[in-house]
């Protein structure tokens, strides 16, 4: 029995557009993000998901709600699918972080696990998101679950599920807004990556996954 999980990044926000670090700040979708969510929802609804789960942050919850509006399903929410907590960085642009907290910024750019500034470690992030995705899969064994989450959370959670070391996870390109990853899980092969960065906006720039 194979279970499929779609890990779906939320639509665009004004902070995405401005290169501002969101982390767990509850920033809503902008007009573009709402259009992205509606268009992606049409594509995902055609896959006939059996369950929908989302981070409780509005940008992910409202992205999931666009799919639920098409399918008639309800969305369950899981705080473990929240974005990485970026501590003192939240609300700053990446340029401001680089100028004001250069040592931390250098560690982040290098992909180090511990950055400082109360930024959540990659290991902690990967574990909590992977736990959330595991439980999401249990909502529809043998079926398809869509989990709406965030850029850094998606990448690190997926890497943890697949058993990849941090440096290997860094080889994954950042997910574009409203793009998704497809994972499969079965008793014989465990978790496998089936598709990555799928969506309707492949020609658009990739905002940083923060």
- Average pLDDT (10-34) is 98
Predicted confidence band of residue 210 (pLDDT cuts 50, 70, 90): low
Is 10 in the active site? yes
Provide the pLDDT for residue 125: 98
**Binding site for substrate: which residues?**
9-16, 59
Question: What DSSP element (H or E) covers 51?
Answer: strand 51-54
> Is 7 contained in some domain?
yes
Average pLDDT over residues 61-81: 98
pLDDT at 209: 54
pLDDT tens column, 33-56 = 999 999 999 999 999 999 999 999
Confirm if 184 and 3 have CB atoms less than 8 A apart: yes
CATH number at residue 139: 3.40.50.1240
Question: What range defines the domain where residue 36 resides?
Answer: 3-86+122-198
Residue 176 CA to residue 82 CA, distance in Å, equals 17
Residues 82-112: pLDDT tens digits? Answer: 999 999 999 999 999 999 999 999 999 999 9
Active site residue 77: no
For residue 69, give both structure tokens: 């509006």
Number of domains in the chain: 1
Residue 103 forms part of a structural domain: no
Mean confidence (pLDDT) of the chain: 95
Marked catalytic residue, from 83, 104, 160, 179: 83
Global pTM?
0.93
pLDDT > 90? residue 190: yes
């Amino acid at each position: 029995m194979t279970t499929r999980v779609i890990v779906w990044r939320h639509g665009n926000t004004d902070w995405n557009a401005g290169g501002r670090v969101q982390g767990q700040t509850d920033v809503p979708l902008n007009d573009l993000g709402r259009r992205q969510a509606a268009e992606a929802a049409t594509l995902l609804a055609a896959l006939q998901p059996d369950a929908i789960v989302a981070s409780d942050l509005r940008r992910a919850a409202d992205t999931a709600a666009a799919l639920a509006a098409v399918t008639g399903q309800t969305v369950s929410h899981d705080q473990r699918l929240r974005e990485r907590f970026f501590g003192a960085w939240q609300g700053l642009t990446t340029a401001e972080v680089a100028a004001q907290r250069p040592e931390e910024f250098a560690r982040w750019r290098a992909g180090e696990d511990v950055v400082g500034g109360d930024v959540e470690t990659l290991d902690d992030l990967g574990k909590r998101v992977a736990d959330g995705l595991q439980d999401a899969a249990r909502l529809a064994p043998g079926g398809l679950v869509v989990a709406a989450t965030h850029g850094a959370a998606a990448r690190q959670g997926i890497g943890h599920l697949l058993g990849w070391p941090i440096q290997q996870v860094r080889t994954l390109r950042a997910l574009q807004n409203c793009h998704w990853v497809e994972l499969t899980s079965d008793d014989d092969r465990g978790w496998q990556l089936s598709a990555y960065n799928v969506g309707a906006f492949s020609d658009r720039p990739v905002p940083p996954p923060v």
